[in-house]
Chain A
């Protein structure tokens, strides 16, 4: 990491206040934040969802989204007062001296124009270079961003290029005018871990090569540790603390930061091996399944035992969610079958008996869409108990109250609430209670923590762990997050392109030797160590040569 403390100041934001409009009133989003950035310096801006990171990042360009306004403070960019400057002056800076890289490159590239036309637009419009010059420059930058076929990729339309490549093309586009400052707004959040590495490396290199200052916005601590010289932590529109990266990682001062930094404290104790001859609760036997003519799952086998958690790991498109759909009966397999307690389940859920449906429950990733927004908790949680167990009247109410107690929500307060009156973590707890209400033997957890902030997610994992012991449950845990796997799994199934590439007990999985794909997956997960990316790239380069 470079020393930028002695360089001249590029951007100064003082006491910034930003408000957002909702229901005809203005409410604060950013409550008086200061920010100073030197030339060539990279600032990591981190915080959970709703912390105001993006809003603050855009404000550095003198820009607010519709329905927001900067209500106080000063912004000084290299001697220019952005608050007082005319819109034309600000427009002259944007794209030329301050550039922006958005989270979703697929949505942020105009579908009607070729990549290279969109690249050369800013330099030509700002009068930095001519069109021909801009186009040859584009090819040069595409090459530096390590895009395949740099000579011709620019002549494609956005929808003809993959997500990871688009994100690199967008970074190249931001570099077109060689700006002094780039705002990166969660540029790798939408990407798979193995793709993320390449994009992170490319961004870091190019920023260093051109000595560009950057504000790197993310919620991922390990990512920001690789990218930033210094880190600022935001919480609900307020600054928590700021320090250079190594200091911040080694000794955070504020309690909130310490909780963010703490390595997942929850880790499941190693369970004794399952006795030979035990009949698994769920057994997936030689399943091949897919939609239309395409097989998404190819000859999948795995077992899930009582009181055990099997984590199914893979990137998007690996088929892990499809496996869940086969087990629940939403997608009847083409070949193979699913056994429950040793007996085959009918392939289609419509042919399954009520008791078979009751035994296998599901918890979803997005609690927002998994709970009917028009039903109160009483009915959401009560319905399975009423349907499967025939509970009525007081018995039903008592059962609902017990379930609410189990998920640590106060029945008196919560029983008649609507999902919209709950926080994200509480909604996910209700999802768990609904599954428990059926008194199942087996629960599928589909990315249950990936939409939640870290602390809340940890609470959910602890709860699931406790319930498993209490009710002898078998879990199938679908996730792309290896930290979650470490925390909760007994066994791991690694999937790639619809096949199981490796499976076995957790402890073995995290020890070498690995299958090459597992190796790639494991090594691609960013770690808190600021030197991790550098070391990894060096290792991979050595292996390759």
Chain B
């Protein structure tokens, strides 16, 4: 019986999510125009829901101090208080307001993951495009280095490096970005390799165009679509990886509000049947699901357009 009720709740949640997606899509179509509008019309409800969620997360991250009832690190009451006003979602293991920390977590966790992904992309795509365009020894060298680095499982590699360099936010970003840039390199290189064999690249080379213009005007615009989709995928990956490291206690360090660490700090409650520790984990999951839904739609569109 209880299982049936749970299933019913899940069904209701899915229905509400899809309805929200539909509302969002309708609204977005109404305010947009041109190519964007045309694209939005083809968006499935899952993708519309994904876009809505991403938008909400961005808003929460920006306006965190306005929305949160307390300060990020403020001890406001007893430990593990239940869900009662003024602590909507209770308090954590040190007596800080759970709701407040969830909101600040959007800023910290998502912000760090975003910066890391951006850095990984900057390194990986520049080197990848360069390797494919220049070719020769440069390509050989970079590709071999990347092969080796990719032969070490990324979580293990980051654990090793974090042991050595310590666990500040800066080292965290640098270490994960470096490791992840190898994956970006692979993709950027293979995308660019498909482009550099095109006749228009040969024409540009024979015209005497320099390397910079070749990459920025001729190759990059054509590599943009797969790279943007990959950015979404890599963001999910980095986000999950940083959360996992925080959960293991070697990522973002207390007292910074961070979803991975929050799960770890409050995990003990689970065994008492309290869902509070699942909230930050769910917040992570929801964002990754949203990004994945949007990326899936973009990839589907890209492959559909090719036919």
Is A369 touching B199 in the complex (CB atoms < 8 A)? yes
Interface mask (B204-239 → A, CB under 8 Å = 1, otherwise 0): 111111000000011001100000000000000000
Given contacts A357-B208, A387-B207, are A23 and B42 in contact (CB under 8 A)?
Answer: yes
Given contacts A364-B199, A369-B198, A373-B222, are A357 and B42 in contact (CB under 8 A)?
Answer: no
List 14 A–B pairs whose Cβ atoms lie within 8 Å, in order of A's numbering. A330-B205, A352-B208, A364-B203, A369-B198, A372-B218, A372-B221, A372-B222, A373-B222, A374-B222, A375-B221, A387-B207, A387-B208, A387-B209, A438-B207
Is A328 touching B206 in the complex (CB atoms < 8 A)? yes
A156 contacts the other chain (CB 8 A):
no
A349 contacts the other chain (CB 8 A):
yes
B83 contacts the other chain (CB 8 A):
no
Is B206 touching A434 in the complex (CB atoms < 8 A)? no
User: Smallest Cβ distance from A435 to chain B, in angstroms?
Assistant: 9
User: Smallest Cβ distance from A351 to chain B, in angstroms?
Assistant: 11
Q: A371: which B residues are within 8 A, CB to CB?
A: 200
Is B217 touching A375 in the complex (CB atoms < 8 A)? yes
Interface mask (A356-386 → B, CB under 8 Å = 1, otherwise 0): 0100001010100111111100000001100
B202 contacts the other chain (CB 8 A):
yes
Q: B42: which A residues are within 8 A, CB to CB?
A: 23-24
User: Smallest Cβ distance from A354 to chain B, in angstroms?
Assistant: 5
A526 contacts the other chain (CB 8 A):
no
A237 contacts the other chain (CB 8 A):
no
A329 contacts the other chain (CB 8 A):
yes
User: How many Å lie between the Cα of A308 and that of B218 in the bound state?
Assistant: 33
Pairs of residues from A and B, 6 with the lowest C-beta to C-beta distance, nearest first: A374-B221, A370-B199, A372-B200, A364-B199, A369-B199, A357-B208
Q: A352: which B residues are within 8 A, CB to CB?
A: 208
User: How many Å lie between the Cα of A357 and that of B207 in the bound state?
Assistant: 6
Other A-B pairs beyond A328-B206, A387-B207, A387-B208, 11, CB < 8 Å: A23-B304, A329-B206, A357-B207, A369-B200, A370-B203, A372-B221, A373-B222, A374-B222, A384-B207, A434-B203, A438-B207
User: Smallest Cβ distance from A28 to chain B, in angstroms?
Assistant: 18
Given contacts A374-B221, A374-B222, are A362 and B203 in contact (CB under 8 A)?
Answer: yes
User: How many Å lie between the Cα of A361 and that of B205 in the bound state?
Assistant: 12
Closest to A356 in B: B208
Given contacts A374-B221, A375-B217, are A330 and B200 in contact (CB under 8 A)?
Answer: no
Closest to A435 in B: B203
Interface size class of B (residues with CB under 8 A): 10 to 19
User: Smallest Cβ distance from A323 to chain B, in angstroms?
Assistant: 15
User: How many Å lie between the Cα of A369 and that of B197 in the bound state?
Assistant: 9
User: How many Å lie between the Cα of A371 and that of B206 in the bound state?
Assistant: 14
User: Smallest Cβ distance from B14 to chain A, in angstroms?
Assistant: 23
Is A349 touching B206 in the complex (CB atoms < 8 A)? yes
Interface mask (B175-205 → A, CB under 8 Å = 1, otherwise 0): 0000000000000000000000011101111
User: How many Å lie between the Cα of A383 and that of B209 in the bound state?
Assistant: 10
Q: A330: which B residues are within 8 A, CB to CB?
A: 202, 205-206
User: How many Å lie between the Cα of A352 and that of B208 in the bound state?
Assistant: 9
Given contacts A23-B42, A370-B199, are A357 and B222 in contact (CB under 8 A)?
Answer: no
Interface mask (A380-408 → B, CB under 8 Å = 1, otherwise 0): 00011001000000000000000000000
Instruction: Classify the interface of chain B: helix, strand, loop or mixed.
Output: helix
User: Smallest Cβ distance from B305 to chain A, in angstroms?
Assistant: 9
User: How many Å lie between the Cα of A438 and that of B208 in the bound state?
Assistant: 12
Interface size class of A (residues with CB under 8 A): 20 to 34
User: Smallest Cβ distance from A126 to chain B, in angstroms?
Assistant: 33
Q: A374: which B residues are within 8 A, CB to CB?
A: 221-222
Q: B202: which A residues are within 8 A, CB to CB?
A: 330
User: How many Å lie between the Cα of A343 and that of B222 in the bound state?
Assistant: 38
User: How many Å lie between the Cα of A526 and that of B217 in the bound state?
Assistant: 45
User: Smallest Cβ distance from B45 to chain A, in angstroms?
Assistant: 14
Q: A375: which B residues are within 8 A, CB to CB?
A: 217, 221
Q: A366: which B residues are within 8 A, CB to CB?
A: 199
Closest to A355 in B: B208
Closest to B221 in A: A374
Q: A357: which B residues are within 8 A, CB to CB?
A: 206-208
Closest to B197 in A: A369
User: How many Å lie between the Cα of A329 and that of B206 in the bound state?
Assistant: 8
- Cross-interface CB contact of B206 among A24, A362, A369, A383, cutoff 8 Å: A362
Is B205 touching A349 in the complex (CB atoms < 8 A)? yes
Closest to B195 in A: A372
Closest to B209 in A: A387
User: Smallest Cβ distance from B298 to chain A, in angstroms?
Assistant: 15
Q: A362: which B residues are within 8 A, CB to CB?
A: 203, 206
Q: A349: which B residues are within 8 A, CB to CB?
A: 205-206
Given contacts A23-B42, A24-B42, are A370 and B200 in contact (CB under 8 A)?
Answer: yes
User: How many Å lie between the Cα of A364 and that of B206 in the bound state?
Assistant: 13
User: Smallest Cβ distance from B44 to chain A, in angstroms?
Assistant: 11
Q: Which residues of chain B from 80 to 131 have a CB within 8 Å of any chain A CB?
A: none
Interface mask (A474-515 → B, CB under 8 Å = 1, otherwise 0): 000000000000000000000000000000000000000000
User: Smallest Cβ distance from A375 to chain B, in angstroms?
Assistant: 7
User: Smallest Cβ distance from B250 to chain A, in angstroms?
Assistant: 43
Q: B205: which A residues are within 8 A, CB to CB?
A: 330, 349
Q: B200: which A residues are within 8 A, CB to CB?
A: 369-372
Q: B198: which A residues are within 8 A, CB to CB?
A: 369-370
User: Smallest Cβ distance from B159 to chain A, in angstroms?
Assistant: 42
Q: A438: which B residues are within 8 A, CB to CB?
A: 207
Q: B217: which A residues are within 8 A, CB to CB?
A: 372, 375
User: How many Å lie between the Cα of A161 and that of B207 in the bound state?
Assistant: 41
Closest to B224 in A: A374
Closest to B198 in A: A369
User: How many Å lie between the Cα of A372 and that of B304 in the bound state?
Assistant: 20
User: Smallest Cβ distance from A353 to chain B, in angstroms?
Assistant: 9
Interface mask (A408-445 → B, CB under 8 Å = 1, otherwise 0): 00000000000000000000000000100010000000
- Cross-interface CB contact of B207 among A24, A364, A370, A383, cutoff 8 Å: A383
Q: B221: which A residues are within 8 A, CB to CB?
A: 372, 374-375
Q: B222: which A residues are within 8 A, CB to CB?
A: 372-374
User: Smallest Cβ distance from A261 to chain B, in angstroms?
Assistant: 33
Give the residue among B200, B202, B204 with the most A Cβ atoms within 10 A.
Answer: B200
User: How many Å lie between the Cα of A330 and that of B209 in the bound state?
Assistant: 14
Q: A434: which B residues are within 8 A, CB to CB?
A: 203
User: How many Å lie between the Cα of A142 and that of B206 in the bound state?
Assistant: 48
Q: A354: which B residues are within 8 A, CB to CB?
A: 208
Closest to A380 in B: B200
Q: B203: which A residues are within 8 A, CB to CB?
A: 362, 364, 370, 434
User: How many Å lie between the Cα of A50 and that of B147 in the bound state?
Assistant: 44
User: Smallest Cβ distance from A19 to chain B, in angstroms?
Assistant: 16
Q: B199: which A residues are within 8 A, CB to CB?
A: 364, 366, 369-370
User: How many Å lie between the Cα of A372 and that of B209 in the bound state?
Assistant: 14
User: How many Å lie between the Cα of A373 and that of B217 in the bound state?
Assistant: 11
User: Smallest Cβ distance from A327 to chain B, in angstroms?
Assistant: 11
User: Smallest Cβ distance from A448 to chain B, in angstroms?
Assistant: 12
Closest to A349 in B: B206
User: How many Å lie between the Cα of A373 and that of B208 in the bound state?
Assistant: 20
User: How many Å lie between the Cα of A293 and that of B208 in the bound state?
Assistant: 29
Closest to A365 in B: B199
Interface mask (A91-134 → B, CB under 8 Å = 1, otherwise 0): 00000000000000000000000000000000000000000000
User: Smallest Cβ distance from B262 to chain A, in angstroms?
Assistant: 43
User: Smallest Cβ distance from A170 to chain B, in angstroms?
Assistant: 26
User: How many Å lie between the Cα of A328 and that of B222 in the bound state?
Assistant: 25
User: Smallest Cβ distance from B213 to chain A, in angstroms?
Assistant: 9
Q: A24: which B residues are within 8 A, CB to CB?
A: 42
User: How many Å lie between the Cα of A383 and that of B208 in the bound state?
Assistant: 11
User: Smallest Cβ distance from A469 to chain B, in angstroms?
Assistant: 25
Q: Which residues of chain B from 129 to 175 have a CB within 8 Å of any chain A CB?
A: none
